Amino acid sequence: MNEESIKFLLESVHKGSCSPEDALTKLKDLPFEDLGFARLDHHRALRTGQSEVIFCQGKQPDHIISILNHLGAKAENVLATRLDLENANKILPYFPNAEYDSLARCLLLRPLAEPSIAGKILIMTAGTADLPVAQEAWVTARYMGHEVDTLFDVGVAGIHRLLGQRELMDRAEVLIVVAGMEGALASVVGGLVEQPVIAVPTSVGYGAHFQGLAALLSMLNSCASGIGVVNIDNGFGAASLASAIIRRITRDK
Amino acid sequence: MNEESIKFLLESVHKGSCSPEDALTKLKDLPFEDLGFARLDHHRALRTGQSEVIFCQGKQPDHIISILNHLGAKAENVLATRLDLENANKILPYFPNAEYDSLARCLLLRPLAEPSIAGKILIMTAGTADLPVAQEAWVTARYMGHEVDTLFDVGVAGIHRLLGQRELMDRAEVLIVVAGMEGALASVVGGLVEQPVIAVPTSVGYGAHFQGLAALLSMLNSCASGIGVVNIDNGFGAASLASAIIRRITRDK
Amino acid sequence: MNEESIKFLLESVHKGSCSPEDALTKLKDLPFEDLGFARLDHHRALRTGQSEVIFCQGKQPDHIISILNHLGAKAENVLATRLDLENANKILPYFPNAEYDSLARCLLLRPLAEPSIAGKILIMTAGTADLPVAQEAWVTARYMGHEVDTLFDVGVAGIHRLLGQRELMDRAEVLIVVAGMEGALASVVGGLVEQPVIAVPTSVGYGAHFQGLAALLSMLNSCASGIGVVNIDNGFGAASLASAIIRRITRDK
Amino acid sequence: MNEESIKFLLESVHKGSCSPEDALTKLKDLPFEDLGFARLDHHRALRTGQSEVIFCQGKQPDHIISILNHLGAKAENVLATRLDLENANKILPYFPNAEYDSLARCLLLRPLAEPSIAGKILIMTAGTADLPVAQEAWVTARYMGHEVDTLFDVGVAGIHRLLGQRELMDRAEVLIVVAGMEGALASVVGGLVEQPVIAVPTSVGYGAHFQGLAALLSMLNSCASGIGVVNIDNGFGAASLASAIIRRITRDK
Amino acid sequence: MNEESIKFLLESVHKGSCSPEDALTKLKDLPFEDLGFARLDHHRALRTGQSEVIFCQGKQPDHIISILNHLGAKAENVLATRLDLENANKILPYFPNAEYDSLARCLLLRPLAEPSIAGKILIMTAGTADLPVAQEAWVTARYMGHEVDTLFDVGVAGIHRLLGQRELMDRAEVLIVVAGMEGALASVVGGLVEQPVIAVPTSVGYGAHFQGLAALLSMLNSCASGIGVVNIDNGFGAASLASAIIRRITRDK
Amino acid sequence: MNEESIKFLLESVHKGSCSPEDALTKLKDLPFEDLGFARLDHHRALRTGQSEVIFCQGKQPDHIISILNHLGAKAENVLATRLDLENANKILPYFPNAEYDSLARCLLLRPLAEPSIAGKILIMTAGTADLPVAQEAWVTARYMGHEVDTLFDVGVAGIHRLLGQRELMDRAEVLIVVAGMEGALASVVGGLVEQPVIAVPTSVGYGAHFQGLAALLSMLNSCASGIGVVNIDNGFGAASLASAIIRRITRDK
Amino acid sequence: MNEESIKFLLESVHKGSCSPEDALTKLKDLPFEDLGFARLDHHRALRTGQSEVIFCQGKQPDHIISILNHLGAKAENVLATRLDLENANKILPYFPNAEYDSLARCLLLRPLAEPSIAGKILIMTAGTADLPVAQEAWVTARYMGHEVDTLFDVGVAGIHRLLGQRELMDRAEVLIVVAGMEGALASVVGGLVEQPVIAVPTSVGYGAHFQGLAALLSMLNSCASGIGVVNIDNGFGAASLASAIIRRITRDK
Amino acid sequence: MNEESIKFLLESVHKGSCSPEDALTKLKDLPFEDLGFARLDHHRALRTGQSEVIFCQGKQPDHIISILNHLGAKAENVLATRLDLENANKILPYFPNAEYDSLARCLLLRPLAEPSIAGKILIMTAGTADLPVAQEAWVTARYMGHEVDTLFDVGVAGIHRLLGQRELMDRAEVLIVVAGMEGALASVVGGLVEQPVIAVPTSVGYGAHFQGLAALLSMLNSCASGIGVVNIDNGFGAASLASAIIRRITRDK
């Protein structure tokens, strides 16, 4: 429902092919679908350039099935995140083509297509325990059409592991840094590269980590600049931001 | 000190025009300058694409003067942030061409040049009390060579003020949303646009705002995607990230 | 035990129909019932206009059964909140007419009566994961005799879903806004309507949401006015406040 | 800009008295005024039933003067809150009819009118140190046209001071309870009355009070129901909510 | 207004010497005095065994003067706590017999009387920086009629300083332990003595002390038993509790 | 190992009946028993007037059994607290006379003796969900030889339930107030009585209660004086402090 | 890859026995091994003097098995920490010589060797519930080749248990103090000894302990000096630091 | 008062040259000096190997003067820390040989002696704003007799500045890393060296730094091992720990 279509509507009123009452109704009739418990936002893709994604945490399995059916009928593919194994097993029988990634806790209604958008995203982790979050970012980025490189387990306690990978970093348009514990990797990477860096704190750590708070504060206070932070463990959010940046680069070419 | 120059160095060793000892020394001799109390990082511009900026909080005025002198001798311009009026008044007499912006609490060693990089940044605020942070972002972005539009006082309590400004939002490559209180503007903007959104929580609020914590948590938990968050009141950081994104767009064209 | 009855008592003493000693005893003899482990407050309905509700969290099933029996003997209906499925299954066999709502985690001793008090409450949610809290509010409001409308899944990331529902909002006397994540819906609704808004933060979110703290702080710091906040996930409290407001409106007519 | 005016606009297009282009422009032309640094929202009164109030904290005195001039030209009266004495003294010379209340830290552009709306608000405090917040609520409520009673220094450590004031409580449509320290007054009042109670935690206390956090948490966790909480020290917010409730009662009569 | 006086009142009604209406009024007419901004609770001494104390923080000097005048007219002496030097200097000219203790930040309307209640209180501090809080406790305890011993600067980093003072500890009925930093003195003393220990965390410390939070949590988690904790820096509260305990001991003898 | 025994020892050295070397050894040989994993402190009863109590949380069942055996061989009775049902069932078969109280989560090695110390403790709760903590206090107080009265479910939302119980309160030497949610009962009781009040915050509540933090802060900030606070849910600690106070009263008679 | 080897490499280039291209490759070819999901850092032992240790929390069992295989092929022994019983049981069948310590939650690939480094570490605990953390420190220290003494259950509530153990403390080069609750043992020990003290807060406690925060803050704020703090429950980190200190002592002899 | 002197005392009792009563007194008569408000601990140097240091924060200037006089009469030199300029100016006139370091906020009673203990401490900072804390560490370490190297402004955003300084790091026995913001320098250094690392978080940062909390949590959660953390801004504590470690190394040689 963009400016063009409103102009068109107003011209129809002007020409008499649409009554004022109908125009009023249409102005309100925006493209979302009411399932009673959920309002699907089909035109989000038009508005923000991103497909609808189902955030499953706290949702009932039957609600998720219903939403998948409705979205799946209109969209090429659908991504469901934060879906734990127990619920996935209740949902998968209804969608024979769906694929579930237990590490990422993500379900895709149909297999991933090949990347369709130029510009690489590099996903880095500080440790192997950060992998689930990195994998959520990977699935999301691929679902949104992007090429993704990965560089895992390059935490700053062994900084030469990172310094030897300069070339891989240079190839990327955007870098996603996933790190728990003290989250220092974001600062070190931010000091090395000119590209935008998206920092994802993870809840990996113990004691005074406070479920990711330590890494989150660390990343927000980075002494390097050019870093944007997303929520703790939010691999999906990091990939969405990376996608928004790369689509901007692509669009303007 | 990039791969090319190391290769060149190694070839000099191979050819005998440089001894191994000298090569070792040169490998360590990276381009920073030691002032005793500070190490200036002249090649940061090469490495991260950004000029050196002086973060003045906690620094002595005479240290700042010394750093400004050294950086100013080599760079086109220098930006000093978080410089309060009292210290600025001690420093300005030494730099007749310098300009001090008391709202942004920023000093520029020389006047701002015209924007040299295509691609607009739109800086938005929820309220007028967020202006100092927005101004720091504005000065930083302009110092880094970017065009900047502004849209102030469009908080969500009067959401039509925002909805009427669709066109301005569409013109920008990146949007910086500066908001205190509940910081909801970031979510609403994030739901409306396809461009990357950089959210800056401000310490504007009282009571249970806890100096910006409320807005920070709000932005990190945004239900919209495509949003990267920087530290509370960090207008500089937001502009740096915006600059990194736009330079990427420009570079690839 | 109101002023009238005290006056009556004092007049009985004056007339000699009641001895001072008995009067003293009666003055202390307030209408609550002692079960040993609990003191039921039968005259709360008179005092605050609300029926007794059993908050079950942390109570033993046999205690709940005993309280239900005692309250049920005197009241038209009884509501038990925060009752999980496991305990509900232990309690239901003793009350054949009782109904358990597993989404709301509420038990009603007898079926809901038709609404008896004019003035609608509108319960809104930002997402579908906020439904359990909304449902607790719904059951409570209906139990207290009110008419309730609902408007679910109208979060600010797709703000047109909300803007198209103006009429529904206008019909309500009070609006209850249930939202997790950044809780921005409360601010947007508060800026659109003239009615009182009751904001309920939910614990829906992850990472830096801190079990509802993010949404709570957001709502307390709303830039819109006319908003009262209740505890995290406290659908019952929101409905009680809505009920107090509407009964005031009704009473004065 | 309500449904009626849109309908009228569409009919003008239909009749040809307005071109589609003009209609599009008008649809966007909502009634706010752009001062550059601030966007005044003149139709907020229509939309939410409340007059524009200037929240002065963090705003420059000259900005406040400018906003007062613009709002004052169109509105009957204007209220400025969170204005400290120092800034008030800079502003008052420009507005000879203005009155400044140093306890409430509020400025009124013109003298208060007599109450015009039926239905009393009772403002209570636990201690005398809570008076500034109570006074902000008092000024706001009177500015919004309401009758206000007060009952100060009735904290629960001397509960008979409260219990003897039943009649005053009964006279009010809404009660505002302002309390610092442990904020227990809200719970005790909430358990005594049937009217809605608005609880305002104050930052009065020391040590583990954490600037109002103790009272805030206490009020959010009240064992009494029918209580809505506003931000710490937010007397303005409490009065706004009380006003919304009472205007609802009045409207429906 | 105890049971005896109510009985007497009811008998007067019975005998006809008091009308029911007058009795009702008297039942409500509890002994507090209304100054408009404050309600003085003259019968608190009867009810809780403690004299009225003025907590001055957040109160206006003229309010404090007024309260001192009213209370001073009826009580033997009055204590004002949390009175900073600046306000004390405004108040002292009105009360020629008053004494101000700048370390304790306390004002006494008249000189301290000799101790009148048997049973010593021992006030201990971990360091010399804890002295202001200890002094507030000392003044309060003496004002309440108690004998006080002191033992300062016996922190656990030099534990022999404490162990050599066994006799002094044994002489006390109650021990007040005032400590900042890690507050460990409370645990060590609690493990050594059989008397009740009152622990007062102070805000003395820096960095991760968080204004007394570290000492407070430490004392609440003491591995020793028989310890009651009061608020951070609350020397007055500690002395009040000590007084309540000792008056109990005295009373029962 | 008190002063007397040291004096005796030194006199033995003086008389030659004990060599200096043996004396040195004995001076170090204090009456605790080393089990390898635990050091039992048999003379704590002498030193602090309290019997050894086993805090079971985090201890292995076989360690608890071993400690019970060693302590049980020397003491009249032993109390084990924070023992959950699962571990209790592993331990009970070894101690046929032991009794386990599942509400209090306490085990007593032998049946409770009749109270042996004069002076009542009154344990009060705000709600029925606070009972487990109250019960831990009850068992501890009885184990320590005290008489205990109880007054349950007298929360401030129905304050008349409390006010009618004046006599019961007056009979106690010490009052223990157990309350979750906003913990306001402590303040109300503290304002009513002259005896020392021990406040126990409980973790009963939800949302912004933060596992007892709300009630804890509330109690620490009580506007009433004469209140000492113990850790969240620490019924044992409250009873220990009450015992220390009462034994002091008894001792001095 | 130290300075010597780089010099050697450069000389090879100088002599022509190594081409510049190969040298560049070798400069980057640092000794870590890429398993895809993890990069093993074989030369950490050279760089920091410590063997690789596997932190298992958050890692998949098959990943741990793979890492154990790779590390075990090159190292004398391997330590895996934070391995819970469930995962240990999945891993042990693959490594017949491995030993699992369920108290410490540690697995050793091969049996512990005899201590090979002079200089004792003394590990102390305040209570028996601190044993799991102390045991993790014990296993780590022994794995790293050190002699370890232990002194358990010497908390400050019975301070004589500690004071009698002076000799044991004097024998150690470094003391590790493991304590939960208020963590006061670290301060008392720090005040008694001249050796470095490493303080380990544990999550043992309840209520306002906040999973170790109370002990952590207590230790950071110790009034004794010469104390370094590690993360909550981080027995491994304490032993690593102790090892670094002792190896320094040994090395310099 | 060590074991030797107790043995000597006991032998005097044995020989009859000292009565048991006198011995008891002497056993209690430990070498501290009572100033009334402070107890000076002259034998701390013997006990912990460290000289008495005056922590001035919160102490009155005249108290500091008195303590300086008493300590200065017996010790070679005295260090006073946390002494702000205003108080220093009140104290300096009394001590003509004293020197005040305004950056470190430290006063030395007499000039620093040359280093007397072998083994270098390297003090590093991430930024120039960390200098005051580093300087406090420098003064303390030199006061305690140590050689100190410094390496300032080597934060991880320009990591080559650090990597080029390997030799300086290798020369130190202990490294003190002072860093604010995200504190990542501690992790990077900890991963590079084999020596013990002492991490000092500073309060340098803004917004979500929370006065040093971000850096503190970061350092406690470091992915590198061999790191001990001290309190925020605690340069004194870091130097004390470094001193304890080096004196151990020296002693054992």
The C-alpha atoms of residue C135 and residue C146 are separated, in whole angstroms, by 14
Per-residue pLDDT 10s for chain B (253 aa) are: 345 556 677 777 778 788 777 776 555 444 455 666 666 555 455 455 556 789 898 888 998 999 999 888 877 899 999 999 999 999 999 999 999 999 999 999 999 999 999 999 999 999 888 999 999 999 999 999 999 999 999 988 888 778 878 889 999 999 999 999 999 999 999 998 999 999 999 998 888 888 899 999 999 999 888 999 999 999 999 999 999 999 998 875 5
Span D76-95, pLDDT tens digits: 899 999 999 999 999 999 99
pLDDT at residue C36 greater than cutoff 70: no
Query: In whole angstroms, what is the distance from residue C54 CA to residue C83 CA?
Result: 9
Report how far residue H143's alpha carbon sits from residue H123's, in angstroms, rounded to the nearest whole number.
15
Residue F152 confidence (pLDDT): 93
In this structure, chain D runs to a length of: 253
Q: Describe the strand order of the beta sheet including C99-101 as a list of residue ranges.
A: C53-55, C79-81, C106-108, C99-101
Going by C-beta distance under 8 Å and a sequence separation of 6 or more, which residues neighbour residue C126? B223, C153, C154, C155, C156, C177, C178, C179, C180, C181, C183, C184, C185
Q: State whether the Cα torsion D56-D57-D58-D60 is positive or negative.
A: positive
For residue B197, tell me if it sits in a domain.
yes
pLDDT in tens, F176-204: 999 999 999 999 999 989 999 999 999 98
Chains B and H make contact, 3+ CB pairs within 8 Å: yes
Write down the pLDDT at residue G30. Answer: 41
Local confidence band at A29 (pLDDT 50, 70, 90 cut-offs):
very low
CB A117 within 8 A of CB A49: no
Residue F83: pLDDT band (50, 70, 90) is very high
Q: Is the pLDDT of residue D158 over 70?
A: yes
Query: Which letter does DSSP use for residue B2 in this model?
Result: -
- Burial of residue E188, with CB atoms counted within 10 A of its CB: 0-12 exposed, 13-18 middle, 19 or more buried: buried
Q: How many CB pairs under 8 A join E and F?
A: 122
Q: Write down the pLDDT at residue D120.
A: 96
Nearest CB neighbour to H229, from listed G196, G230, G248: G230
| Contacts with B238 from chain H: Cβ below 8 Å | none
CB-CB neighbors (< 8 A) of H20 in chain F: 7, 10-11, 13-14
Residues A129 and A205 in one domain: yes
In angstroms, rounded to a whole number, what is the distance separating the alpha carbons of residues F204 and F129?
Answer: 7
Distance in Å, alpha carbon of E29 to nearest chain C alpha carbon: 14
What mean pLDDT comes out for the span C200-225? 92
Query: For residue H33, what pLDDT is reported?
Result: 58
Using 50, 70 and 90 to split pLDDT, how confident is the model at D2? Answer: very low
Region F65-82 average pLDDT = 89
Dist. CA D31–CA D9, nearest whole Å = 15
pLDDT band at F26, cuts 50/70/90? low
pLDDT at C204 over 90: no
Kindly give the residue spans of alpha helices, DSSP state H, lying in chain H: 3-15, 20-28, 44-48, 61-74, 85-91, 131-143, 160-163, 166-171, 185-192, 213-220, 235-251
Residues of chain B contacting C126 with CB distance shorter than 8 Å: 223
pLDDT 10s digits, A202-219: 998 888 888 899 999 999
Q: Which residues of A touch C209 (CB under 8 A)?
A: 231
Q: Which of D61, D91, D108 is the last residue of a domain?
A: D108
Q: What are phi and psi of G99, to 5 degrees?
A: -125, 135
Both H61 and H150 in one domain: the answer is no
Please list every residue in chain F whose beta carbon sits closer than 8 Å to the beta carbon of residue C36.
Answer: 152
Structural domain contains residue C26: no
Each residue's pLDDT tens digit, B117-145: 999 999 999 988 899 999 999 999 999 99
DSSP string, A179-198: E-TT-THHHHHHHH-SS-EE
- Which of C43-57, C65-79, D59-73, H139-153 has the lowest average pLDDT? C43-57
Q: Which residues of C touch E17 (CB under 8 A)?
A: none
What pLDDT score does E201 carry? Answer: 97
Q: Are residues E20 and C13, on separate chains, in Cβ contact within 8 Å?
A: yes
Optimal mutation site among B39, B105, B204, B220, interface H, most CBs of chain H within 10 A: B39
Chain G touching partners, 3 or more CB pairs below 8 A: A, B, E, F, H
Average the pLDDT over D15-33 and give the result: 63
Looking at the fold, whether G195 and G225 belong to one and the same domain comes out as yes
Q: Residues G133-182: pLDDT tens digits?
A: 999 999 999 999 999 999 999 988 888 778 878 889 999 999 999 999 99
The CA distance from F195 to F124, in Å, is 14
Nearest CA-CA partner of E251 in D56, F193, C3: F193
Instruction: Look at residue A196 and tell me if it is in a domain.
Output: yes
A-H C-beta contacts closer than 8 Å: 118
pLDDT reported for residue F1? 36
B81: in domain: yes
Contact between F221 and D184 under an 8 Å Cβ cutoff? The reply is no
Same domain, F154 and F207: yes
Q: pLDDT by residue (tens digit) across D184-195?
A: 999 999 998 999
Decide if E82 touches D, using CB distance below 8 A.
yes
Under 8 Å between Cβ of B220 and B197:
no
**What beta strand segments (E) does chain D contain?**
32-34, 39-41, 53-55, 79-81, 99-101, 106-108, 117-125, 146-151, 174-179, 197-201, 227-229
Residues H99 and H107: beta-carbon distance below 8 Å: yes
SS (H, E, C) H138-170: HHHHHHCCEEEEEECCCCHHHCHHHHCCHHHHH
Residue with tokens 């919304």: D244
Q: pTM score, two decimals?
A: 0.86
**Torsional sign, CA D189, D191, D197, D199:** positive
Please identify, among A66, A85, A108, the residue that sits at the C-terminal boundary of a domain.
Answer: A108
Please list every residue in chain E whose beta carbon sits closer than 8 Å to the beta carbon of residue H57.
129, 204, 206
Nearest beta carbon to residue G10 from set B3, B7, B24: B24
Distance CA G75, CA A113 (A): 43
Beta bridge partners of D40: D33
Same domain, yes or no: C103 and C125: no
Are the beta carbons of B241 and A229 separated by less than 8 Å? no
Q: Which SS3 state, helix, strand or coil, does residue F171 take?
A: helix
pLDDT value for H29: 41
Q: Are residues B121 and B243 in the same domain?
A: yes
Tokens of E212: 């007394």
Contact B193/C at CB under 8 A: no
Residue A93 touches partner C, C-beta closer than 8 Å: no
Residues of F in contact with D155 (CB under 8 A): 223
Give the 3-state DSSP-derived string for B183-242, with helices as H, strands as E and coil as C: CCHHHHHHHHCCCCEEEEECCCCCCCCHHHHHHHHHHHCCCCCCEEECCCCCHHHHHHHH
Lowest mean pLDDT among C103-107, E163-167, F87-91, H173-177: E163-167
Interface check for H205 against chain E (CB to CB < 8 A): the answer is: no
Tell me the C-alpha distance between A204 and A213, whole Å. Answer: 10
H24 has a chain F CB within 8 A of its CB: yes
Whether chain E has a CB inside 8 Å of the CB on H55: the answer is yes
Q: What is the dihedral of CA H149, H152, H157, H160, to 10 degrees?
A: -50
pLDDT at E184: 94
CB-CB under 8 Å, B253 with A252 = yes
pLDDT tens for each residue of D110-133:
999 999 999 999 999 999 899 999
In a domain, D25, yes or no: no
Q: What is the mean pLDDT of residues C163-176?
A: 90
pLDDT single digits (tens) D169-215: 999 999 999 999 999 999 999 998 999 999 999 998 888 888 899 99
Reduced to 3 states (helix: H, G, I; strand: E, B; else coil), residue C215 is helix
Query: Residue H35 class from Cβ within 10 Å (0-12 exposed, 13-18 middle, 19+ buried)?
Result: middle
Q: Which amino acid is at A108?
A: L
Residue F6 lies in a domain: no
- When CB atoms are compared, the residue of C173, C224, C228 closest to D248 is C173
Residues C16-30, mean pLDDT to the nearest whole number:
65
Among candidates C180, C196, C194, which has minimal Cα distance to C121? C196
Which helix or strand (DSSP H or E) is residue E91 part of?
A: helix E85-91
What mean pLDDT is predicted for residues G71-93?
Answer: 92
Asked if A160 reaches chain C (Cβ–Cβ under 8 Å), the answer is: no
Distance of CA F48 to the CA centre of its chain: 12
pLDDT exceeds 90 at position F96: yes
When pLDDT is cut at 50, 70 and 90, the band that residue H37 belongs to is low
More confident residue, E93 or A251: E93
ipTM for the complex? 0.84
Pair A172, A147 in one domain: yes
Cβ-based contacts of D49 with chain C (< 8 Å): 194
Average pLDDT over all residues of chain D:
86
Positive or negative torsion for Cα E156, E161, E162, E163: positive
Q: Is residue D69 part of a domain?
A: yes
3-state secondary structure of E167: helix
Indicate the residue type of E60: Q
Q: Looking at the complex, does the CB of residue G1 fall below 8 Å from at least one CB of chain B?
A: no
Q: Which of D50, F208, F216, D186 is nearest to C200 (CA)?
A: F208
- The domain boundary residue, chosen from A108, A143, A163: A108
Low-confidence residues in chain E, pLDDT < 50: 1-2, 28-31, 43, 46
pLDDT at residue H30, rounded to an integer: 41
User: What is the rounded CA–CA span in Å between residue G231 and residue G238?
Assistant: 9
Residue F16 lies in a domain: no
- Total structural domains in chain G? 2
Q: Give the span between the Cα atoms of D167 and D159, in whole angstroms.
A: 15
The answer on C158 and C91 residing in a single domain is no
First-to-final CA distance of chain F? 26
Q: What percent of chain D has a predicted confidence (pLDDT) above 90? A: 58
Asked whether residue B85 falls in the same domain as residue B135, the answer is no
E246 and E180 belong to one structural domain:
yes
CB H182 within 8 A of CB H199: no
CB pair distance less than 8 Å for A223 and H127? yes
The answer on G244 and G127 residing in a single domain is: yes
Distance CA A181, CA A188 (A): 15
CB-based burial, D201-233: b 16+ in 10 Å, e otherwise: bbbbbbbbbbbbbbbbbbbbbbbbbbbbbbbbb
Structure confidence at residue G52 (pLDDT): 72
Provide the domain limits for residue G168.
117-250
Q: What is the CATH number of the domain that holds G189?
A: 3.40.50.1970
Q: For the purposes of burial, counting CB atoms within 10 Å of the CB of H29, is it exposed (0-12), middle (13-18) or buried (19 or more)? A: exposed
Q: Which of B105, B123, B153 to mutate to test the interface with D (most CBs of D within 10 A)?
A: B153
Q: Which of F128, F153, F154, F159 to mutate to test the interface with D (most CBs of D within 10 A)?
A: F159
Contact F3 H13 (CB under 8 A): no
Among the ranges given (A33-42, C215-224, E209-218, F48-57), the one the predictor scored with the smallest mean pLDDT: A33-42
- Residue F153's alpha-carbon distances to D114, F101, F165, F176, in angstroms, are 46, 21, 12, 13
Q: Does C19 contact E14 at a Cβ distance shorter than 8 Å?
A: yes
Q: Mean of the pLDDT values across residues C190-209?
A: 92
Average pLDDT, rounded, for chain A: 86
Same domain, C235 and C145: yes
Substitution target from D6, D26, D33, D39 for chain B, most B beta carbons within 10 A: D39
| pLDDT given for residue E176 in this prediction | 98
| Contacts with E, F 116-145, CB within 8 Å | 119
Nearest CA in chain G to B21: G7
Which chains are adjacent to chain A, needing at least 3 Cβ pairs under 8 Å? B, C, D, G, H
- Find, in chain B, the residue whose alpha carbon is nearest to that of A166: B3
